[in-house]
């Protein structure tokens, strides 16, 4: 371990778009817990190994209430002060985090997703595949599939009108784009706040009972209310943007990855039953959370051989940790048969993604159906010409031209 301060290396290498940059591999071997200066000017620690990274996410001496390290140069704000909406349980610790999260968990279990969402996912995926079959031979997969499916699913789950998708998606892109200045990101956030506020008012007026938003409205009403109005709006905003942008990014990038891995794609076409392990492996291999996730030390502590001081920011570079050879055999190979008990693609510990079973259901439906239906699907442009999103909080493709 070194006390020398380095600039955080760029998180993606345009020449090698599916792997972490070589510098992360080097750091993981030589300086696995290193002091870095993040692009916005904050300094803190960066962890690139799996074991040490999982400690950061599970040790109660670190809090989730952290300042953002991934904003543009000079844009530093205090923890909890960098968002116009209430970030709710995302930045809380136990026991408050668990109590808050439990308001939602029943809707996100594998059983609930299977019973309530899977038939709907099957239906919309089939409809979109039919539309692709009837449309032009060469098309943008993002527009045709990887954006609309997660939008439709989050609308169904929350009780949000799909007709409003362009507005909420554009606002989400602004909010999540760390290449844009704070005014633009805040504009996106305010659009979503105003939208959810109006939708809540509308649901109250009409007595709507459809979707999670209506259930949450009930929890913010009356003498035994467990949510304030600001928390209710914050939750609606969070679920709307976190619930579609992430999965859309993952679906596009997974498709690109399978299109550039012939053996794995053919194996999946022949053995669709491998889709469960394929999706987990893609989550590990691609790790779309682009800039890592931070926590702050509440007291002095050790991680590996690093002496972390109270108040220090510690960021886990999950893309590097998910390729750590100490945790995964042959980590740079996309092995769709891999037997894996854990990875960090959905985060780790108590804050691990609430919506992971929804995302899994979508990916497990789209990928096998897509390649079964269009076994000759191929890239319409060379890999190096696929426009990648290097500035979004989630890494992905901006556009993916394919020929069926």
In the complex, the residues that contact ligand HEM under the rule CB under 6 A are 89-90, 101, 154, 238-239, 242-243, 246-247, 250, 288-289, 293, 345-347, 351, 353-355, 358-359
CB nearer to ligand HEM: pick between 355 and 404: 355
β-bridge pairing 2-7 and 33-37: parallel
CA distances from 62 to 40, 58, 297, 349 (A): 22, 8, 4, 12
CB nearer to ligand HEM: pick between 91 and 260: 91
- CB 57, min distance to ligand HEM, A: 7
Rounded distance, CA 76 to CA 61, Å?
Answer: 23
The alpha carbon dihedral of 342, 345, 347, 350 has a sign of negative
Helix (H, G, I), strand (E, B) or coil at 389: strand
- CB 270, min distance to ligand HEM, A: 25
- CB 354, min distance to ligand HEM, A: 4
CB nearer to ligand HEM: pick between 146 and 264: 146
CB nearer to ligand HEM: pick between 188 and 392: 392
- CB 94, min distance to ligand HEM, A: 10
Q: Which residue is nearest to ligand HEM (CB)?
A: 355
Helix (H, G, I), strand (E, B) or coil at 90: helix
- CB 262, min distance to ligand HEM, A: 24
Helix (H, G, I), strand (E, B) or coil at 138: strand
Q: Give bridge partners of residue 46 from the DSSP assignment.
A: 34, 315
- CB 132, min distance to ligand HEM, A: 22
CB nearer to ligand HEM: pick between 199 and 353: 353
CB nearer to ligand HEM: pick between 8 and 247: 247
Rounded distance, CA 397 to CA 16, Å?
Answer: 14
Angle between helical axes of 165-176 and 148-158 (0-180°, round to 10): 110
Token pair listed for 334? 């996309």
CB nearer to ligand HEM: pick between 289 and 386: 289
- CB 2, min distance to ligand HEM, A: 27
- CB 333, min distance to ligand HEM, A: 21
N-to-C CA span, the chain: 50
CB nearer to ligand HEM: pick between 132 and 358: 358
Helix (H, G, I), strand (E, B) or coil at 250: helix
CA angle 320, 277, 242 (to 5 degrees): 60
Rounded distance, CA 147 to CA 404, Å?
Answer: 18
- Name, in order, each residue with C-beta under 8 angstroms of 142's C-beta and a sequence gap of 6 or more: 248, 252, 397, 398, 399, 400
């Amino acid at each position: 371990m070194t006390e020398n301060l380095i600039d955080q290396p760029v998180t993606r290498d345009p020449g090698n778009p599916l792997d972490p940059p070589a510098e992360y591999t080097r750091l993981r071997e030589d300086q696995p817990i290193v002091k870095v200066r993040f692009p916005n000017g904050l300094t803190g620690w960066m962890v690139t190994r799996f074991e040490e990274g999982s400690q950061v996410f599970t040790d109660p001496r670190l809090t989730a209430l952290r300042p953002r390290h991934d904003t543009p140069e000079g844009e530093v704000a205090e923890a909890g002060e960098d968002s116009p909406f209430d970030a709710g349980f995302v930045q809380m610790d136990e026991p408050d985090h668990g109590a808050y999260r439990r308001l939602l968990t029943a809707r996100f279990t594998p059983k609930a997703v299977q019973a309530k969402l899977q038939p709907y996912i099957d239906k919309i995926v089939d409809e979109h595949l039919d539309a692709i079959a009837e449309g032009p031979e060469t098309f943008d997969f993002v527009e045709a599939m990887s954006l609309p499916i997660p939008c439709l699913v989050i609308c169904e789950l929350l009780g949000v009108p799909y007709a409003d998708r362009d507005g909420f998606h554009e606002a989400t892109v602004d909010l999540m784009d760390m290449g844009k200045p704070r005014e633009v990101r805040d504009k996106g956030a305010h659009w979503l706040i105003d939208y959810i506020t109006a939708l809540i008012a509308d649901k109250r007026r009409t007595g709507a009972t459809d979707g999670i938003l209506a259930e949450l409205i009930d929890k913010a009403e009356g003498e035994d209310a467990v949510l304030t109005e600001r928390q209710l709006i914050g939750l609606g905003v969070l679920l709307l943007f976190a619930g579609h942008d992430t999965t859309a990014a993952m679906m596009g990038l997974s498709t690109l990855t399978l299109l550039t891995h012939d053996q794995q794609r053919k194996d999946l076409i022949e053995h669709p039953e491998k889709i469960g392990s394929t999706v987990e492996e893609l989550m590990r291999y691609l790790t779309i959370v682009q800039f890592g996730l931070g926590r702050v030390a509440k007291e002095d502590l050790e991680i590996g051989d690093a002496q972390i001081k109270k108040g220090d920011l510690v960021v886990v570079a999950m893309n590097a940790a998910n390729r750590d050879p100490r945790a995964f055999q042959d980590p740079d190979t996309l092995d769709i048969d891999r037997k894996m008990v854990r990875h960090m693609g959905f985060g780790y510990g108590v804050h691990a993604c609430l919506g992971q079973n929804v995302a899994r259901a979508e990916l497990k439906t789209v990928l096998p159906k897509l390649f079964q239906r269009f076994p000759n699907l191929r890239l319409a442009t060379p890999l190096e010409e696929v426009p990648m999103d290097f500035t979004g909080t989630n890494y992905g493709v901006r556009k993916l031209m394919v020929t069926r």
